[in-house]
Amino acid sequence: MIKYTVLLLTLIISCNMKKKELIEPKAKKIEKILSIHGDDRIDEYYWLNQRGDKDVIDYLNKENDYRNEFMKDYKPLENEIFQEIKSRIKEDDSTVPYFYNGYHYYTRYEKDKQYPIYCRKKGSLENTEEILIDANVMSEGYDYFRVGTIEISPDNKTMAYSIDTLSRRIYTIYFMDLESRIISEKNIKNSSGSITWANDNKTIFYNMKDSETLRSERVMKFKLGDNGNGSEVYFEEDETFSVFSYKTKTEKYIVIGSSATLSQEYRIINAEKPDEKPKLFQKRVDGLEYSISHFKDKWFITTNKDDATNFKLMTCPESKTESENWVDYIKHRQDVLLGGIEVFDDFLVISERENGLRRIDIRPWDGSKSHYIKFDEETYSLYLTSNPQIATKTLRFSYSSMTTPNSFIDYDMVTKEKKVLKETEVLGGKFDKTNYQSKRVWAPSRDGKKVPISLVYRKDMFNEGKNPLLLYGYGSYGITNNTGFSSVILSLLDRGFVYAIAHIRGSQYLGREWYDEGKMFKKKNTFYDFIDAGKFLINEGYANQNKLFAMGGSAGGLLMGAVVNMEPKLFKGIVAGVPFVDVITTMLDDDIPLTTFEYDEWGNPKNKDSYDYMLSYSPYDQVQEKDYPAIFITTGYHDSQVQYFEPAKWIARLRDRRTNNEPLLLYCNMEAGHGGASGRFEAYKETAMEYAFFISLLNN
């Protein structure tokens, strides 16, 4: 113990000396005045927006060099954490096969290889394996590589697949003859990555992106053997909408969808007649949200029609799809959020959420008694997975909790028997779920609402009021954080951390109203909920008041930026991943990807009232001369959703204005985009950086 203390003291002294010697990167200031609504904002770091400029590249490289040097003494810890994470993962692993159109499909990994191998077997799992794509081979020569979609023609002879090699979610579609294994010279660039086959085995539908805004704006039709990119089926003129396409589970229709935050519109084409003109299902109405599923001679519509805030299920005849023909099938429920549905020959399966927890409702078509699949843990994660077959009595779903590794389960909807097909192995021989405690607690927010928090810790390392705690949050777009198992988090739990997820407003954890109260002119509720959750965890003894850490990415990075401006002394340190922090400037620029699509989430700052409200919390605009906690910011140079220059400008302004000397670090992955590094293990190197950053702060 004495030896360890001496080593720790030496490390602290070394780090303190290094802080004095290291010189932080200082971005040059070139003032640019941004004027609207009679208000002038000065952006002294606007020049960083110039993608490809030598000075910009040099600055980003200096930031990376500074982070590397600052954390040099913790590099062994980074390596240790990375090896821990990697050692828990079964390298020669495979997914649970699913059966579709005569073949079992699965993905497998091989030891010491970064990328998946996509495979299938005809008829029986005992038959010879056919490798569709070995991404380890195909990725050679690329710094970044990701397979988007693999879609096989109905006759099983042609494979269409999409590849992204830049990390801007711009995919190229390729075609392979599965009998000869010859890849066609013809490919289609600038797609969203999704592919839908018509039933003629030669026509695909895909979505084309605008090269500047990256908005999916056109649904295209391409026939094998054609030149060019095919023909346009539908063009979405409204810049606040984005298009997509898919085939119904019954395989009768191609569906062309166009969606904004608060409105959807669909068109349908008979999959047997792909050259037919699309038929409008129900024209868009501002505020009318709906999604459609086909079954036999009916359409099932999940919708908020008639003020169904938490959505309801309606039906209409196959040939009369306008909303005046919709009738209730499952009425709106004030306390239950209706999610997705799955149709089978004998059953309708409904995913829904009550009091924050997902559940699955099994409803026989014959009118016999419905039932729920029951789960006992206090907080858990539950998802319907691959269920492509309609003529089956077996439902497949995945289940996990913060202490229970993910399981894939086949459920007999008649006998109600569960069959666990696979539980994810946690290797290394150290994990025992009984060593960990998971629970759900409720934190009072300042306006009286109760904010749910899911948390987990290691029992033998928990000491009331003394533990470091990492609080994670997102709180936007109605996205609800997964409260399932993560072997990655064990590297913190086994070092005495408590890990908590705050289910703040802006998500749909407690229904659609929970989302509505955390967006637009109520966005600050998201930030207040997170701050109040942190204070509650300290007051209840789950966290030491000097060891509260926070983490969030993308819109969760905006959350991080907002809360450190509002309550900087609450947090010991934060990690902000690909943070959306320059809210006003980004939302005023129609050419930046995704801007117009998000007006219903944040507001349109071209309107004075939205501008004023957004400006009042925009993290970059609200950086002030005061003490800030330690902050580690990550970004990707090719990010298509939050451009690299937002976090780059943010850290530059923080360094210029903060009044203390806590670490401010930026890591820009020069080869990656919004999702981080590609490759099975590469992303964990960034996780190891983040965890080492938190642990380093415990030594200060």
Q: Are 646 and 592 in contact (CB under 8 A)?
A: no
- Eight-class DSSP state of 101: T
Q: For 442, what's the count of Cα atoms within 13 Å in the CB-facing half-sphere?
A: 9
332 catalytically annotated: no
630 three-state secondary structure:
strand
Q: Give which of 539, 438, 559 is closest to 489, Cα–Cα.
A: 438
Note whether 474 and 559 are within 8 A (CB). Answer: yes
Are 216 and 242 in contact, with CB atoms under 8 Å apart? yes
Integer Cα distance of 650 and 623 in angstroms: 8
CA distance 264 to 254: 16
Task: State the distance between the two ends of the chain, measured CA to CA, in whole angstroms.
Answer: 19
3-state DSSP assignment of residue 177? strand
| Residues whose CB is less than 8 angstroms from the CB of residue 613 and which lie 6 or more positions away in sequence, other chains included | 521, 523, 603
CA atoms of 68 and 58, how far apart (whole Å): 15
Residue type, 199: N
Residue 607 to residue 617: CA distance in whole angstroms = 16
Q: How far is CA 75 from the centre of its chain?
A: 28
- State the Cα–Cα distance between residues 68 and 121, nearest whole angstrom: 46
Transcribe 406-428 into DSSP letters. -EEEEEETTT--EEEEEE----S
In the structure encoding, which two tokens stand for residue 31, read together? Answer: 């003032």
Q: Are 298 and 318 in contact (CB under 8 A)?
A: yes
Round to whole Å and give the CA distance between 353 and 508: 9
Q: Whole-angstrom Cα distance, residue 427 to residue 110? A: 16
Q: How far apart are CA 77 and CA 75, in angstroms?
A: 5
Which is catalytic among the residues 104, 294, 503, 674? Answer: 674
Q: Please check whether residue 568 is in contact with residue 627, taking contact to mean a CB–CB distance below 8 angstroms.
A: yes
**Could you say which DSSP state residue 22 is in?**
-
Question: Catalytic site residue 412?
Answer: no
CB-based contacts of 262, cutoff 8 Å, min separation 6: 286, 287, 289, 600
Selecting among 554, 610, 618, 696, the annotated active-site residue is 554
**Angle at Cα 49 formed by Cα 43 and Cα 55, nearest 5°?**
100
Euclidean distance between CA atoms 622 and 568, whole angstroms? 12
Q: Which one is catalytic: 639, 640, 678, 696? A: 639
Which residue in 454, 551, 570, 439 sits closest to 502, CA to CA? Answer: 454
Output the CA–CA distances (angstroms, integers) from residue 615 to 36, 524, 577, 586, in the order listed: 12, 12, 21, 12
3-state helix, strand, coil in the chain (%, to 5): 25, 35, 40
CA distances from 516 to 56, 587, 600 (A): 38, 20, 11
The Cα 517–Cα 520 span in angstroms is: 8
554 tagged catalytic: yes
* Secondary structure of residue 68 in the 3-state scheme: helix
Orientation angle between helical segments 682-698 and 75-87, nearest 10 degrees: 130
DSSP 199-250: TTSSEEEEEEEPTTT--EEEEEEEETT-STT-EEEEE---TT-EEEEEE-TT
Which residues are known catalytic residues?
A: 554, 639, 674
